[in-house]
């Protein structure tokens, strides 16, 4: 029987509603089930589906015996954001084999620690630029800082300006993938073609010996990665995975724009974090800055939901979908689930103070869920948290002002951020004419 609304009407395809409602689609769907339900009926891309949330939804969605990610992501997203044939489209043993290289590159403690001094350097440079009269937004500063840091960490050649330009292209891919009705999507597709060619050339130069990145860096590891049969990946695909080792870090710039908004609205937290940064003498790894970063990630997820294909009949909390249907995980609804979080509607970084093992929080999934090595949780999460915390520390400097104008968020657009990106100026520099 086809799913229906509480009034008995057949449910239309929620794909269209996603484009119209954006991050508001989840609350709309939950009206179809009782308060606190773990599942709700929906339709997606013509298929019957169930919408799931909370710890129960996470456990179902990441169960590889029941849910498959292969071909679940719409092609318009897969081809622009992740790239054709990337790890995001794999399941089972093939996924674990490919992902092991991501884990070695980004999740290994030694490799993850290599990026910390780069975050320190790049955010100190952005802070100095603002104090000298610079007018870059928090978002634009983050694109450059994260791009230069992650590319240097990944073993990429090139000048800082060249890395900033490539980071800007990658940031635009992230910005445009979710608006297929817009010219921004066409620009994202063009930037994807350019980036794929450039990354492919870097892989081929490494394989030929013209480039010699250090062992353990993303460029070195992807250039030499072999599939389960012992074959090198095609250089184009290796270049795609090389980008997938650093593009997610650049995407964290969107969180930085949200951080600017939340810091503007919470001067007491800016003061606390500024004091912590001064006391520690460093922009990186401050406990309060990290807690603030975690709360940003909880309340401002990159995407509102993720799709999967049911490979067996599944049922959760009274709703069922047959094999061949879809299971859709409510990311935002899980990160703000009333059964999993105390006062989930509040922005409260205190909930993360002292919470070292964030991976143990089943309902905290801004970078995916389940295990890093065996599941689909992003292995670059450590880098994302460290980079965002460094940005929070820099933006908390009392010598800076964050403008109130432009901090509104269009929650219909995917992905979204505060409209202005967070305008940052040296304190006391005065207002500037909006037409100049």
Domain-located, residue 161? yes
Domain-located, residue 270? yes
Task: List the structure tokens of 321.
Answer: 């979908």
* Spatial distance between the Cα atoms of 378 and 367, rounded to a whole number of angstroms: 5
pLDDT given at position 265:
98
Domain-located, residue 66? no
Domain-located, residue 414? yes
**φ and ψ at residue 417, rounded to 5 degrees:** -170, 165
Domain-located, residue 34? no
* Spatial distance between the Cα atoms of 250 and 167, rounded to a whole number of angstroms: 7
Domain-located, residue 337? no
Domain-located, residue 322? no
Question: For 150-181, b where at least 16 C-beta lie within 10 A, e where not — what string?
Answer: bbbbbbbbeeeeebbebbebbbbbbbbbbbbe
Task: List the structure tokens of 164.
Answer: 């900033």
Which pTM does this prediction carry? 0.94
Residue range(s) defining the domain that contains residue 283: 74-302+343-426
Q: Cα Rg for the chain, rounded, in angstroms?
A: 21
Strand ranges, E, within 143-232: none
Which residue ranges in the chain fall short of pLDDT 50?
431-436
Domain-located, residue 166? yes
pLDDT given at position 433:
42
Q: Which residue has the tokens 């207002």?
A: 431
CA atoms within 13 A on the CB side of 284: 18
pLDDT given at position 2:
57
pLDDT given at position 430:
55
| Structural domain count, the chain | 1
Taking only the tens place, the pLDDT of each residue in 324-341 is: 999 999 999 999 999 999
* Spatial distance between the Cα atoms of 284 and 31, rounded to a whole number of angstroms: 42
**Domain holding 261: CATH number?**
1.10.630.10
Give the H or E element holding residue 138.
helix 138-153
């Amino acid at each position: 029987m086809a799913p229906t609304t509480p009034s008995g009407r057949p449910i239309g395809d929620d794909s269209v509603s996603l484009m119209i409602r954006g991050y508001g689609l989840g609350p709309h769907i939950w009206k179809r089930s009782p308060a606190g339900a773990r599942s709700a009926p929906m339709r997606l891309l013509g298929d019957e589906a169930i919408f799931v949330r909370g710890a129960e939804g996470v456990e179902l969605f990441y169960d590889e015996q029941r849910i498959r990610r292969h071909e679940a992501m719409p092609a318009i997203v897969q081809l622009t954001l992740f790239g054709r044939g990337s790890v995001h489209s794999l399941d089972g043993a093939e996924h674990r084999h490919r992902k092991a290289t991501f884990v070695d590159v980004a999740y290994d403690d030694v490799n993850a620690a290599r990026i910390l001094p780069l975050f320190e350097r790049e955010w100190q440079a952005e802070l100095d630029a603002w104090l000298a009269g610079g007018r870059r937004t928090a978002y634009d500063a983050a694109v450059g800082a994260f791009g230069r840091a992650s590319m240097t960490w990944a073993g990429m050649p090139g000048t800082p300006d060249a890395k900033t330009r490539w980071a800007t292209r990658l940031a635009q891919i992230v910005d445009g993938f979710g608006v297929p009705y817009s010219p921004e999507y066409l620009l994202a597709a063009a930037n994807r073609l350019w980036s794929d060619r450039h990354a492919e050339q870097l892989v081929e130069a490494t394989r030929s010996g013209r480039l010699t990145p250090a062992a353990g860096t993303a460029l070195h590891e992807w250039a030499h990665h072999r599939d389960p049969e012992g074959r090198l990946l095609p250089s184009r695909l290796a270049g795609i995975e090389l980008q997938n080792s650093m593009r997610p870090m650049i995407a964290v710039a969107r969180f930085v724009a949200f951080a600017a908004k939340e810091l503007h609205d919470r001067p007491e937290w800016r003061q606390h974090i500024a004091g912590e940064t001064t006391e520690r003498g460093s922009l990186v790894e401050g406990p309060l800055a990290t807690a603030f970063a975690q709360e940003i990630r909880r309340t401002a997820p990159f995407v509102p939901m993720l799709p999967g294909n049911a490979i067996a009949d599944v049922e959760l909390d009274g709703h069922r979908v047959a094999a061949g249907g879809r299971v859709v995980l409510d990311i935002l609804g899980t990160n703000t689930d009333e059964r999993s979080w105390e006062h989930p509607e509040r922005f409260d970084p205190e909930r993360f103070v002292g919470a070292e093992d964030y991976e143990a929080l089943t309902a905290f999934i801004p970078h995916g869920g389940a295990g890093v090595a065996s599941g689909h949780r992003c292995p670059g999460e450590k880098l994302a948290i460290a980079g965002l915390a460094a940005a929070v520390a820099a933006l908390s400097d009392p010598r800076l002002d964050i403008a109130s104008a432009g901090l509104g968020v269009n929650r219909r657009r995917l992905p979204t951020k505060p409209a202005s990106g967070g305008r940052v100026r040296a304190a006391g520099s005065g207002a500037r004419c909006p037409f100049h």
